[in-house]
Structures are given as C-alpha cells and as structure tokens.
Structure 1
Amino acid sequence: MEQTKVQITDVVYNAGTQCFEALVTVMSDTETAKYPCAIEAPITMSFEQASRGLEKQALRRHKTGKGMYSQMRRHVASTRAGRQRFDPRVWLAQLGFGPMNHAA
C-alpha cells in the first residue's frame, strides 16, 4: 500500500475572496506534487478546520489528477559516454611541449 504524506505551507486568509489559501504538498512513494488550494470560509474558522479542508482538496486533486500542480520527479543520471580521462601532460606532449621541447 502506498504511503501518502501531506504538508501544508504558507496558509493565508485572503479577505478579498474570503478564502483560506495555501500551498499543499502531497508526497507519495513515487512522486511529489504541489497544489495551490483555497477554501471559502469566514475568518473566524479555526486553523485546524481550515487545514483539514485544504488537505482534503489537495488529496482529491491528487487522486483524480485534475487541476494545476507542480511536480518534482526524481532525476536519474544517464551513463556518460566512454571516453578517456583528460591528462594535461599527454595533451601538452601532443602539442609539442614534451620534456625535450621546452617552451620559452
């Protein structure tokens, strides 16, 4: 069973729209997605109730895959091409600055 963690950050009350707004991060075993969430509520609503509503909205969006979100995917480094290690002494010898040919 997949474990899902929720982190709510930057909770603000927007008096113009009478909404609690926050950035909610949903972290699962395979991905991390951030959702901008807002719930209409009076300013007198408790922080716990507002955070539960924001969390529920983010989980609903995460489950359905609808709405705007940002996502961080794990980067897997590609294999580099097999080339020789750069040796400056060999490079200088190829240019003619070997042990016998001293540069002025």
Structure 2
Amino acid sequence: MNYATEVTNLTYNAADQQFEALVILHEAGDRLGFPTSLKAPITADFETVARSLVVQAKVRRAQNVHELMSRLRPMTSKVSHAA
C-alpha cells in the first residue's frame, strides 16, 4: 500500500550510535505513528536514513505490529485560539 509519510523528531542517539524518529503514515484519513531506529554513523546520508526509517515503519504496518503504534489526531487546517 502507498502511504504519504512524514519522518518527525529525527535525532541521533550517540550512546547507541543510532538514528531515532517517529515515522507517520497517512492512511485513509488516519495518521499512524511508528517509533523507528536505525544503527548508522552520524555521518550517514539523510536521504538514506529517512528512507530506511520509512521502510521500517511500513513493514511494521504491513505486519500489523500495533504494540508500538500510535493513532494520531488528524491535522486540522485551522488553529483556534481561546480568547
């Protein structure tokens, strides 16, 4: 299945020498978040890291791995501010 994807909160964990991120898959109006990680040097190419993290999230979704999945609220186009 094709998903629109977002890689958010990408950080490098120096202690574990890995990149960590929340990958969000957009599916039929839902936003599904999957925590992901990739062991790689800090000098790794961003595109390669992001692509690998997205693949990891898609595999978890295809395998119905739900224990670490979060269902996120839909994004709204308007932001309301209380007066």
Tell me if both proteins adopt one fold, taking TM over 0.5 as the criterion. Answer: yes
Matched residues in 2 for 1:34 and 1:11: separation? 13
Residue in 2 that maps onto 1:93: none
Is 1:14–1:21's contact at 8 Å kept on the other side of the alignment?
Answer: yes
The higher relative CO (CA closer than 8 Å, separation ≥ 6) is in: 2
Map of 1:97 onto structure 2: none
Gaps of 5+ in 2: 75-83
Q: Hey, which bits of structure 1, 4+ residues long, moved more than 2 A?
A: none
Gaps of 5+ in 1: 75-104
Residue pair 1:13, 1:21 contacting (<8 A) in 2 also:
yes
Q: As a proportion of its length, which structure holds more strand?
A: 2
Percent sequence identity over aligned pairs? 33
Q: CA RMSD in A?
A: 1.8
Who is 1:53 aligned against?
A: 52
Give TM-score scaled by structure 1 length. Answer: 0.63
**Paired residue total:** 73
TM-score by length of 2: 0.78
Question: Could you tell me which residue of structure 2 aligns to residue 100 of structure 1?
Answer: none
